[in-house]
Amino acid sequence: MSHSAKPTRDTENTRKLMGLRRRGGRALTLAIAAPLLSGVLLVAYAALLSQVLGRAIEGNESLPTLLPMIIGMIVIVATRAALGTLGEWAGQIGAERIKASLRGEMFERLLTHRHGLGIRPASGAISAALVDQVEGLENFFAKYIPAMIAAAVLPVAFAVLLFPVDWVVALLFLLTAPLIPVFMALAGLGAQAATDRQATALSRLSAHFADRLRGLTTLKLFGREADATRDVHTASEALRTRTNAVLRIAFLSSAILEFFAALGVAGVALYVGLTYLGFLTIHAELTLVAGLFALIMAPEVYNPLRQLAAHYHDRASAKSALSEIERQIGALIVSDLTPSGNQSPLSPDEPLKIKDLHVTSQDGQIVLDNLDLIVAPGETVAIMGPSGVGKSTLARATLRLLPSNGDIFYRGISLGDWPEAELRRSTTYIAQKPGIFAGTIFDNIAFANPDAEAIDIKRAADLAHVSDFTRMLPDGLQTYVGEGGMGLSGGQIQRVGLARLFLTAPDLVILDEPTAHLDPETEALVLDNIFAFAEGRALVILTHADAVSRRADRILRMAGGKLIRTPHRRKPDRAKAGERA
């Protein structure tokens, strides 16, 4: 089974790499054309050189007579040098375009299909994929593809051109040249496996180092820094060993090439020499000019194959890099997220409909088991359950932040058909632990809407009762906080996260334990403003607090990966109760 899967993956990776080649544009086309044009000029150069030497030796022609051909040779040498430089430059430009396009697609992939907490790849591994693995594709496009096309075209073309000159030499080239790619391919089978192991080791080292760096404080507190250093050293040694294995195979493929190339050149030289000495009469009328032309062309026939061998390991590296990228981030080709008109069987006016939603954890345990949920327009639904039951998983899957199976329809359109930007504009999700970055409290609130006016940001801070504690700070909302909310309490972080809600204009709001760290009085005040904001919108609250759930229109309890209806009578919020009074 593994033997059949390997060629399939290898073929698929080759197809994808060749598909990415089109993104290089005209620059990559120029990089491919430059060696071919240089090969045409090489034939002209060899013909002129053989003519000059033949006429000087056999015809005793003077320098002025040969000077036009010598000038022509100088022009050809200069032109070929310029073509070589131009080809390398164009290859680099094309490769940079491909890398930039690919990195953009990878970022889009990460934003569009984010992994859920607990089953996402390590950040170090993702960074390695975005930086190191993408860089590993550069030589494939800039050097390997031009060398591969030149190696496929030029040796055969040179051999065909030599047939009118001497069919024996041409036949010798046609017999020896194909042996080189065959044996290189055999060596390449081992190179691919070794390169795969090297790419995996690099990703593991990156993830290992990033994780240890992130937990450096904890390691020092428990006196485990020596163990962490030893672990990083072990991972580094594994990478070094696997890199050396790749290099050994690369050197082996080069040795195979040089052996057959030397064998071919020596065979031509031996044939020409023995013919001139009269020991071979296969082509007794071989002229000095023809013999020199064959000898000059002999090493050049194998030179494109030498170039291919020099960059052959880039092919294995690119395939391994592509596999590692897709292992960490997912399939490269991002689907066009335009609404396809795939409508829900029920009314498109329903903000949210979930049918047979199924999610499993990384270790294969079922978290959500064919879960169903419908939220009506303007309805508030509270989903209750203990921590770890799967409430947050449901929220992430509902908003396309977590891979899942099943049908999710938002406003009558399949969730997968929504453009990313439009989906994020029309939905708001406040997590249980809001992400707070290093900066001012003001900037952290404005993160939800960078175009918001200062007065709107201050109003959002008031509605979330952030102003209650910032008034006591010397810099107020301009107080600087550290990464992750360092300098703030859990309740204050939660209020900053909730303030972001009031800068959005969504149709669907999902809040995960919005008041878990608030005291009862602050909780009631914040809930009043949340429910007032959600008036006319679909609101889903994930909670285990009765004080929160009693305000909802409907209560569902999560158990066994499913939702169970719980009868209750809604308790009005305090603001509305005060109005009736």
The token duo for 558 is 């999560």
d(CA 38, CA 157): 13
Q: Residue 54: which pLDDT band, with cuts at 50, 70 and 90?
A: confident
Residue 339: predicted pLDDT: 37
Residue 364 pLDDT > 90, yes or no?
A: no
Instruction: Count the Cβ atoms, other than its own, within 10 Å of residue 225.
Output: 13
Can you give the length of the chain in residues?
581
Mean pLDDT of 103-118: 59
The residue whose two tokens read 């508030």 is 380
pLDDT tens for 298-328 read 888 888 877 877 777 777 777 777 777 776 6
Phi, psi of 208 (to 5 degrees): -60, -45
Q: Residue 7: which pLDDT band, with cuts at 50, 70 and 90?
A: very low
* CB-count burial class (<10 Å; 0-12, 13-18, 19+) for 345: exposed
Q: SS3 of 516, please?
A: coil
Fold of the domain built from segment(s) 9-329:
ABC transporter transmembrane region fold (1.20.1560)
d(CA 558, CA 556): 7
pLDDT tens for 406-430 read 888 888 888 888 887 788 888 889 8
349 versus 482: the higher-pLDDT residue is 482
d(CA 23, CA 369): 42
Residue 336: predicted pLDDT: 37
- Residues 6 or more apart whose CB falls under 8 angstroms from that of 468 comprise 522
Q: Residue 162: which pLDDT band, with cuts at 50, 70 and 90?
A: confident
pLDDT tens for 528-551 read 999 999 898 899 999 888 888 888
Q: Residue 210: which pLDDT band, with cuts at 50, 70 and 90?
A: low
Residue 208: predicted pLDDT: 65
Contact 80, 150 (CB under 8 A): no
Mean pLDDT of 476-482: 90
Inter-axis angle of helices 63-112 and 312-329, to 10 degrees?
10
Q: In what order do the strands lie in the sheet with 427-430?
A: 427-430, 508-512, 538-543, 380-384, 554-559, 562-566
Question: What are the sequence ranges of the domains in the chain?
Answer: 9-329, 352-565
pLDDT tens for 59-88 read 788 888 889 999 999 999 999 999 999 999
Q: Residue 296: which pLDDT band, with cuts at 50, 70 and 90?
A: confident
DSSP 375-410: E-TT-EEEEE--TTSSHHHHHHHHTTSS--EEEEEE
d(CA 254, CA 239): 23
Residue 15 pLDDT > 80, yes or no?
A: no
The token duo for 65 is 């007579």
Fold of the domain built from segment(s) 352-565:
Rossmann fold (3.40.50)
Contact 17, 319 (CB under 8 A): yes
Q: Residue 383: which pLDDT band, with cuts at 50, 70 and 90?
A: very high
Residue 200: predicted pLDDT: 67
Residue 295: predicted pLDDT: 86
400: left (phi over 0), alpha (psi -120 to 50) or beta: left
- How many CA within 13 A on the CB side of residue 164? 3
d(CA 546, CA 566): 12
- In this structure, of 117-131, 149-163, 311-325, 481-495, the range with the lowest mean pLDDT score is 117-131
Q: Residue 465: which pLDDT band, with cuts at 50, 70 and 90?
A: very high
- Residues 6 or more apart whose CB falls under 8 angstroms from that of 340 comprise 414, 417
Active-site option among 324, 350, 513, 523: 513
**Ranges 110-114, 280-284, 326-330, 402-406, most confident:** 402-406
* CB-count burial class (<10 Å; 0-12, 13-18, 19+) for 349: exposed
Residue 529: predicted pLDDT: 92
The token duo for 154 is 């030029």
DSSP 186-232: HHHHHHHHHHHHHHHHHHHHHHHHHHHHHTHHHHHHTT-HHHHHHHH
Whether 61 is a known active-site residue: answer: no
d(CA 426, CA 416): 15
Predicted TM-score (pTM) of this structure? 0.52
Residue 341: predicted pLDDT: 39
Whole-number mean pLDDT of the chain? 79
- What percentage of residues in the chain have a pLDDT greater than 70? 79
Residue 436: predicted pLDDT: 87
